[in-house]
A and B are shown apart, each in its own frame.
Chain A
Amino acid sequence: MQDNIKQPLQQFILQLADNLLVMGHRNSEWTGLGPIIEEDIAFASIAQDQVGQAWNLYQLLESEFGFAHPDQVAFTRNEKEFYSSHLVEQPTGEYDFSLARHYLYDLAQLIRYEMLSRSSYEPLAKLAKKFHGEVKYHVFHAQTWMKQLMDGNEVSKARMQSAVNDVFPFAMGVFESVDGEEALIAEGIFEGESALKDAWMQQVGAQLLEWGYSLPQLAQPVLGGGKGYHSEYLQPLLDEMGEVFRLDPSAEW
């Protein structure tokens, strides 16, 4: 593989995996604290899917791009070397915030995997097809809650609307292009963050209106994560996530 493709491709996969890992870790913070046991299990399971998808992508980086073992990559880097978006590192907040983020993030993932399942880079297309069913469920779960709570009382409506408004600028920051993305587009590997964002905006807009939400004000996307610039929330998360691994990085699990 030529360097002008290899570089952006591995960065693209790493960014995708980092987003999934941090999102999965954040969502897992609800485990044991969910509103009811059924939802607790469903949300924990979604978090587990996300960490699992990240693991598969780190594995791809190991086998095809010469990266270290997935555990090493996941648990020993600091925030400057993490390329996840600001969306996923935001604290869980209340359940309304977590649900709105879950909906906006997983819908973007679903469209991303639909695009990647057509990728000319076979290993990625294969993974995208494999993950598609999981994320289809995530979106169904998220949409059901988004609808349900906008169909509830004045408190639930107001809280969901303001959660969507709060999350939206962060959600738009998920579509951060890697350097050299044009080579990926030219090679048919990925259609590009901008095409993905357009498709996502169309669907989000139509769905929110259908369920009775007002469309959030279009604000500047919160970018920077893809370049290693983060808020104060990522490093403490990484410290906690890797704490046990770093006690003895050579231990067999």
Chain B
Amino acid sequence: MKIKSLDPRINRIQIDADTENPQAMLHPLENWPTYEVFHQKKRGTHHEHVGVVHATSSELALAFAKEQFARRGETVNLWVVKSEDMMATDYSDADVFATTPEKSFRDPAAYSVKEKIDQWVAKQKNHAG
């Protein structure tokens, strides 16, 4: 059984509905590569990742990104990067981040400056006394 659109004007790719034996083979140009889209709201602020578009070139990706992600609200700039050019860590390596929450000494808030100053003031007093 083929999946058919109810709209007679639509002639989409015919995907075999037999889930036992999926024949949904895509030919190279039927699925376009993806580009990651980064959106900047105001000049000087950082770009934020907002999603992905399918495109056959970075120019076309920009043309699509503008309508997918900059149709509403403020935008001053967009970046697109081919998804396959992105370097990423592997989820199976997520243990490299495991102890991060414990390393409070990396957090400036962990140091009580007040305490240090108090000690220093006390020392100064003793010294003078």
Show the binding face of A for B, using Cβ within 8 Å.
32-33, 36-39, 41-42, 45, 137, 140-141, 144-145, 147-148
Within 8 A of A (CB), among B57-80: 57, 59-60, 63-64, 66-68, 71
Alpha-carbon distance between A36 and B88 when the two chains are bound, in angstroms = 28
Shortest B32–chain A CB gap in Å is 7
A45-B71, A137-B66, A141-B63 known; A36 vs B54 contact (CB < 8 Å): yes
- Give the total of B residues in contact with A, Cβ under 8 Å: 17
Shortest B53–chain A CB gap in Å is 5
Set B53, B60, B67: member contacting A45, Cβ < 8 A: B67
List A contacts of B60 (CB < 8 A).
144-145, 148
List A contacts of B56 (CB < 8 A).
148
List A contacts of B71 (CB < 8 A).
45
List A contacts of B63 (CB < 8 A).
42, 137, 140-141, 144
List A contacts of B54 (CB < 8 A).
36-38
Contact status B66-A39, CB under 8 Å = no
Alpha-carbon distance between A144 and B55 when the two chains are bound, in angstroms = 11
Contact status A144-B57, CB under 8 Å = yes
List B contacts of A33 (CB < 8 A).
9-10
Contact status A41-B59, CB under 8 Å = no
Contact status B64-A38, CB under 8 Å = yes
Q: Which residue of A lies closest to B10 (CB)?
A: A33
Alpha-carbon distance between A33 and B5 when the two chains are bound, in angstroms = 12
